[in-house]
Structures are given as C-alpha cells and as structure tokens.
Structure 1
C-alpha cells in the first residue's frame, strides 16, 4: 500500500511540475529561431522532464521514449531530450538470472550452455543481455527479463489510466492530446515489448525478408531456448555504425550499405507493413565481414494497409511538391479537433512541401514527416501515431546512412525507389481481390432493384429525404429541463412570499420571535432552492460532458 501511495505521489509531483510549464506544443515552430535558440528558449524544462521520468522507473522511461515520437504534441526541445532517455539501473544479480532462466526454460543454466557470462553486455530497466555458448558450440546472446518488471508496469498503467481519464474529462488539453488513445497505444507497445515471443517472431519475419540481401544480417532466434521472459538468439559481432571511424569505413562499402539499408527499410514498411521503430545507429552493427547487422527488434510496429496506402500518396505528393494534395492526405489520415483550422493548415503544408522540394537531393523524408506532424498538431489535427513513429524512424535512419555515406541523398533514394512505393500502392492481395469481387457482384445484383424503388418513389411523390441536422431528443430534453426549473423556481418564490406574509401573524407558536409556520416555510424555500442549484450544476456538467464527447465523435462519423 505504501508503495502505491509513493507512486501516486511521484505521478502527482510530475504532473504538477511539468503540467503548466508550456510542455504541450500549442503552435508551430518559430521559423526565425535556430535549433539552438529553441533549446535555449525552453530552458532546463526538457532535461528536467527526462531526468524525472528516468527516476520513476521503466514504465515512465518507455512512456518518455514514446512521447519523443509525438512531434505533434511536444516542442522540438522536449522530443530531443526524451530521445536521449537512458535506463539507469543496477544489473540483475547472477544467481537471480540463473533462477529466471531455469524457471522459464526448465533446465539448469549449466545444462543448457557450455559457458555463460554472468557479467551482462547491457542492462536496462526491462531486462539485460548476456553472452553464452550452447552445448553445440554456437555463440549466442541471452536476453533475460527482470522478475518484478511486469507487476511494476501493471501498477503504473493503472495510475496512468486514471490520470488519462482525468486529463480527458477535466482539461481543455485532453481533446487535443487524445490522452486515452495515446495511453492505449503505449499499453500495446509496452505489452509487446514485455513479451519476448513477439520479438522472436519479428526476428524470424525480418530474416525471411532479408534472405535475398547480401549486405544485411538478422540474428537467428533459438526457439527451444526462448520463452516470453527469456530470448536466445545468434550472436552477431561488430561495432555500432557511429563507432566506425573514417579509416574503418575505408574497409567497407559505405555507399552500398547506405543504399541497401534505406531500400530495405522502405520495402519492409511499404510492402510488408513492418516498421523497425528504432533503427538508430546503436541498433545497427557493422560486422567484421562488412555487412550490416540489425539488432534489438523489440520495437517493431505493424502498419495497417490503409495507413501504408495513405503514406504512399503522401510521399508521392511531397516528391512532386503537391502541397495541396499532401494537406488533403494528412487531413484524411488525422483526427480533427474542435479548433482545427483547415485553411491555415492547407497553407502551411503547401509552404512546407514547396520548401522541402527546393532542397533537392538534400531532402530528408524523416525531417519532412516530423515537420508535417508538428504542423498538424499546431492547427488542431491529430495525426495517426504511426506517422509520427515512421517520421522518427526515418530520422534515425538518416543519421545512420549519413555516417556510412556522407554523400547519400535520401530524396534521390526515394525517387530511385519509386517503383517500390508504387508497388506498395497498387499491390492487391488474393483475399482483398476476392472481397472486392464479392462486393462488386452484390452491388451489380442489387443495383437494378434499388434503382427501380427510387424511381417508383419519385414518380409517386413518396421520395423522402431524412436529414439529422438537429438532435430532436436532446432539444426536447433541454426544453423539458428548462420548464421544470422555471416551475420549481416559481413555486419556491411563492413559498417565500407566503412565508414573508405569515411572519406578521401574531397568533400561534413562535420561535426566536417569529411565527413557527413562517420559519418552516422559509426553511422549505431555502432547502428547495439549494436542491435546485445542485441539480442545475450537476445536470449542466453532464450536458457539457456529453457535448464534448459528441464533438469528438463527429469527425469519426463524417469519415465513416
């Protein structure tokens, strides 16, 4: 109980410290400020927020990493500070690591491995990684999850859910943030990251996709040595991309590596719907034989076909400098809030896209998508979470390929891979083809009969159009409430007047010098008035809540 109260106190302290500090981006970036100026203008707030989240444990570190992708919600200084979030935790003791592996796999560590390094290669808030060698002589790494992390995350998620409901229902920022939707996305992402079987499936799927790539290697997972809390995979030696200096790059084909990883990222995303959401340079290794190793695939998101098709249209619009089309695609992808300004949004997007096109080969798709997400948020349009994640992933990828090949031009690479983009936009699966054929068959069969009904109704003057422009039920309910309040008010006024008249009566029992009957009437009027005021406050609050919910649901109904 004391632990829960401590977590509540920490969360309240976090909200109190940063809730009113201008953390939420309420407008676009100032085009006259450099990144250094913007960071200076933000002061110590971003770094303090990152430090506070780090001190609160694994759930909040992961929440900060998710928020670092939400450029539509947070200013640039905050997203950059949250990107640098690090886990500051002590490693799991060796005996506990051995116990977890034994409990999960069902065999002792000495029976499973010829050698097992008790000193972890890396330790994080969710788990840590150890080098080992199987009895068959295979070099592997073993990822072990902390024993208490799931209970900690579960407790934190309950508190965050209550906080999200409070923000959505009690604050004006709730609508723009979409706190409940943001938390739902975070819950799914964290649940997947805590289930190592999901990462195992990601490894197997990406290995299938990379089988024809000579310059990309993905570690092979070992199913017999893996569970939801333990993941064993092939060890891939190498150095982080950014740790390879200019001399080291002379021994690898940096140009080919950069082109291959960029093309592979586009193909897996657009054609197969797999997004490696964290391809930063630390998760890309240059192997001794000159290939690129992809590691740490815990953050792999599935992107729906609908979002992929819209992303294809958006990339093509950006490549052609069609700002109007880009704005239309973004509007269809996003969720407009009550303060959405379509005209201003369209103007700013057109200006942004034309400016990006002027960069030519220096165009970076990640930077453009991030800027579009920030512009959307500034004009009251909440973009889909996938778009922000894709923009952040492309930004990280741009840094890696720029180190491998400083002359690499992302804009030119996108144009060179336009066939891949178009293939994604026009590809049709067998299932969707059959479904489309069935729908077309049903439409063709029913069209003559439905057309005859419309023409018959029109010729007989019985054609009726029903438009729900006004919610009649709510209007009648409001009028009924107003009439009731007016009636009660008149009755209370009459009781008050009667009590005043009876106060002059000399006969009968008296209390405090006044006739008792008059005092009773005054008391009845006062209690009735108090009840009327409470009823008005409660009912109006309920009405406002329903109105806000109706405004949130209206854009969805229009899209449907």
Structure 2
C-alpha cells in the first residue's frame, strides 16, 4: 500500500469525524455487535459540541469534501427517494450540479493553456463566473466569434491523485472480500472496480466525451425523444470541451414543468423508451443519467423532448449480452419464469447443474408481487435485496459488464418515480421489446446478418490458404514423422476442422442461430463434418 493511499485513508477518517457521520450510522437499528464498535472509536470518548447542520447537509458536505468518486455515489443515492428520507435526498440533489466551483481565474488559465490562445481571442464573450459546477468539471457560458452561444467545460485540476488513492483502497477492499468470502467472489468485486477505474479515467478525457456526444447526437438525429447539443470540435481539447448551449427546464423542476403544462405521463414513458432504444437498438447508452444531466425542452410541452448533456460515461453491450438480456426481459414481461431460469443457465450466469424447477420457483417468488403495480407502490430496495439473496442461494455470478447498465436503470427508475409515480414500468417497456424482437427477424435485419457472415468468408479463405501452405512445407528432421495417411486426406480433414470451428463461431455470435439468417454458418458446419467423416 502506497504512502499516499494511507494518507488518503486518514483524510477520509478526518472527514467522518468532522461531520459526525458515525452518529448517522449508529442512529440506525444495527445489531448489538455493530453497535459495540462505537466504543472502540477514540474520538467518541471525548465530549463533542453539536453541529449546527442537518444530517443531510453533513452527509452532502462530507461526500463533497471527499472528491469525485464519493460525489458520484451521492448523485446515485439522490435519485433513490424510495430508499432515503426526503431531507437527505433533497440535500444530495445539490451534488448533481451545485458542487462548489474552483477558482475562476485558475479555470481561465487552464482553458487558455489548452486552447493555446487567450479567451478573448477565441470568444466574443466569456463569463468568468461558472454557470454550473460538478464533481469532475465546471462550465462557463460563452459566445463564439461566429455568434453561437456555447458552454465551455473544463476539468478540475488535481483530480487524478485523489482518484488513484480512492481506487487503491477500493482494490484492497475488493481483493480482501474475494479472499475472505465465497459470496463476494460471486460478485467479482475486483472486476467491478476495474470497470469503474476505466470509466472514471475516461470521464477525465473531454475529447472522449465529445466523441460520445457526437455519436449519441447521430443516433437520435431528428428524434422527438431526445436532443443532444452540438460539439464544436475546433475548440475541443483533452481538458476543455466547447459545445452548444441549451435552454431547457431541469427534469427535477416539477413546478416549472407543471406551469408549462408538460405531459408528465408521456415524459416518463419517453424516458423509459429512450433507455431501451439506447440499449437495444444502438447498444450505446448514456450511463450517467442523473437529473443534473437531463433537461426538458420548452418548445412542445404536450410532446416533451429530453435534452441530454455530459456524455462522459457511456456503456455498450456485446451482441451476446444484448441478446440474452432482451430475451430475459421479454420472458420476464410475459411472466415466463421457466424461460428466464433456462436463459440464466444457458448464458452461464448460474451453474449448469442448477435445478431448473427450484430456480424458476425462486424467481417467481421474488418477481410476481411487483407486476401490475405502479412505480410508487414498488419497493425496489426490497426487490433488489431478495434478488441478491436468490442469486447467492443459486451461486449466480454478477456480470461486471452489466454494472453500468444496472446503475443507469436505477437512475431511470428513480427519475420516473419523481416525474410520474403512477407509471407502469412493465407495460411501457414491453411494446418496445416486442418491436425490437420483431425487427431482429425482419427481411432487412436478416439480410444484414447474412451480409456480415458472408464478409467473414475472405478471412476464412485466407486462414485455409495459410494452413495448406504450412502443410505443404517439408517436414523438419527433428520432429516425429507424420501419421501414415495421405497428405491430401490430412489436409482435407484439417480444413474440415477449420470449417467446423468457423461455422460454430459464426452461429454462436450471430444471435440468430435458429433462423435462416445463419445459413452460411450451417453450410460451413456441414462441409466440415463431411470433410472429416469422408474416407
């Protein structure tokens, strides 16, 4: 453990003591053995003056002082009003875009260093006072020389050492958990922290965020569902991003949305549709959709359109995960719990020896009570706890590649709970999944699958040619003699093995092995079997 990481731990301890977070912990109904830990804390032996801060303010200020990783945790918590008291949730909402800014003079200096020119040469107007400030960066309003109103985003200085120290402790805790607990090993905590490390460092690169925003804008070009601001690439650098300034209502400003007679039911439904569109149609989803990054257009309140900003964190799924997830959700919406259980076994998410009937019954017990209920009547905290207990019972492994997706789904669910508590999440999502499943077997989709598989044939031909060239080379003296069979027969059998392997790979990755779209794979498999079996 590095000295800096030890210093960081002491810093965390000082913040806990300063804001009396241990008092918040021990105010909860804990087991006696946990309550006994408070007597081992030396700072609790001395009399302390009461803080003139609410518990929510203490928690917010503590997370704020501890830096970006803790702030992002607070942002996620702020959307879960079903899990937190209202006073704490209200305070944590301030972490979304009201983190104290750093020195504006330092901000201007950093921008000029990145752009290689004074701000008055690049912009006709630049507001020194920040427009908004968050965990990783702060934003200034400006106007380009060409007249466009823009925002200039600049990364906070000195973040990398703090993030590195926090990650060092997260890795230590994850490795300890894997060594000490079989249950923890099923959660793959080290892989989860590795994924988070990549995500948080990617967020510090604003060129990556600009590229993500451009891709997301193309995906929703002309869509009534969502608008993404334009990026001005000429003025984007690794630590500076210049993009179109948007004017909208923050999605949590329910009073203003009501004043302009926004269709809240449609707004909530479109939020769900946007999520499923990004995940299944595009396999490219905004993975930081807390309310501070989402606005609502004021143009057509009867047909509300979302405006998304801050695309620093995005996620994607492999075709295999996308296919398994869609089929799981589709079976779930149909209440086909046996199919859900079978898909979990087929995908390797639970061990192959799992008893199907028992797993099906356990899933039904957890999921059946939440159907046909509006969002306001569902306690997702209890549902998630029971799902975790079920997963532990059946040795189900957490998929690290789905962690971002789960986080995003929690954000969407928390947002929907605020916008329209009577939203029926299942009936809103089911029609979209049904359309997506139909589109996958449409003539256009089948043609694209065939085309992508045919494109693999030149690569297969090159592999076969290389194999035959190696077989035709003279046999080395220091190697054992070949088996007694003709060179042609051996080459053909090896070619058959290559064709079988290639055919199985294409069939497995096509996501449509049971449809006519996979015919090239079956042709390769058949040819391979024939070449191996022939005499």
Name the TM-score class by shorter chain: 0.5 to 0.7
Question: Retained in 1: the 8 A contact 2:101–2:133?
Answer: yes
Shift of 1:376: 4.8
Cα distance, 1:432–1:121 mapped onto 2, change above 3 Å: farther
Give distance in 1, aligned partners of 2:383 and 2:362: 14
How far did residue 211 of structure 1 move? Answer: 1.5
2:201 paired residue number: 191
> Could you tell me how far 1:343 is from its partner in structure 2?
6.3
Matched, 1:86 2:86: no
In the alignment, which of 246, 265, 276 is matched to residue 236 of structure 1?
Answer: 246
Asked whether the equivalents of residues 178 and 185 of structure 2 are also in contact (C-alpha less than 8 Å), the reply is: yes
2:397 is aligned to 382
1:220 corresponds to 2:221: no
Deviation by residue 1:178-228 (Cα, 9 ceiling, x = unmatched):
221111111121122111122212211121121131353211111111112
Match of 2:333 among 310, 319, 343: 319
Take 2:28 and 2:279, find their aligned partners in 1: how far apart are those partners? 32
2:522 aligned residue: 440
Say whether residues 1:245 and 2:255 are aligned partners: yes
1:309 equivalenced with 2:323 (yes/no) = yes
Q: Which residue of 1 aligns with 2:436?
A: 421
Which of 113, 116, 121 is the aligned partner of 2:131?
121
Q: Is the 8 A contact 2:376 2:417 kept in 1?
A: no
Counterparts of 1:120-159 in structure 2, within 5 Å, are 120-159=130-169
Query: Does structure 1 conserve the Cα–Cα contact (< 8 Å) formed by 2:136 and 2:156?
Result: yes
Unaligned runs of 5+ in 2: 17-21, 39-54, 457-505, 507-518
Q: What is the CA-CA distance between 1:320 and the residue it aligns to? A: 1.0
Distance between the aligned counterparts of 2:256 and 2:133, measured in 1? 29
Aligned Cα RMSD in Å?
A: 4.5
Q: What is the DSSP-based 3-state SS (H/G/I as helix, E as strand, rest coil) of the residue aligned with 1:298?
A: coil
Higher Rg: 1
**Which residue of 369, 372, 380 maps to 1:355?**
369
TM-score of the aligned structures, taking structure 2 as reference length: 0.67
User: Contact 1:285 / 1:294 at 8 angstroms: preserved in 2?
Assistant: yes
Contact kept in structure 1, 2:122 and 2:145, CA below 8 Å: yes
Q: Provide closer, same or farther for how the CA distance between residues 53 and 261 of structure 1 changes in structure 2, counting only shifts above 3 A.
A: closer
Q: Encode CA deviations 1:388-421: one digit per residue, 9 max, x unaligned.
A: 5434433433444455556543322223324433
The aligned length equals: 428
1:58 aligns with 2:68: yes
State the distance in 2 between where 1:186 and 1:83 align: 21
Confirm or deny: 8 A CA contact 1:271 1:424 kept in the other structure.
no
Query: Whole-Å Cα distance in 2 between the matches of residues 146 and 90 of structure 1?
Result: 11
Choose from 314, 317, 327 the match for 1:300.
Answer: 314
**TM-score for the superposition, normalised by structure 1:** 0.64
Give structure 1 regions of 4+ aligned residues with deviation exceeding 6 angstroms.
11-15, 41-52, 63-69, 75-78, 80-85, 337-343, 360-369
Q: What is the Cα deviation at residue 345 of structure 1?
A: 4.0
SS in 1 for 2:298: coil
Contact 1:283/1:296, CA 8 A, preserved across alignment = yes
- 1:269 Cα deviation (Å)? 1.1
Secondary structure (helix, strand or coil) at the match of 1:219 reads coil
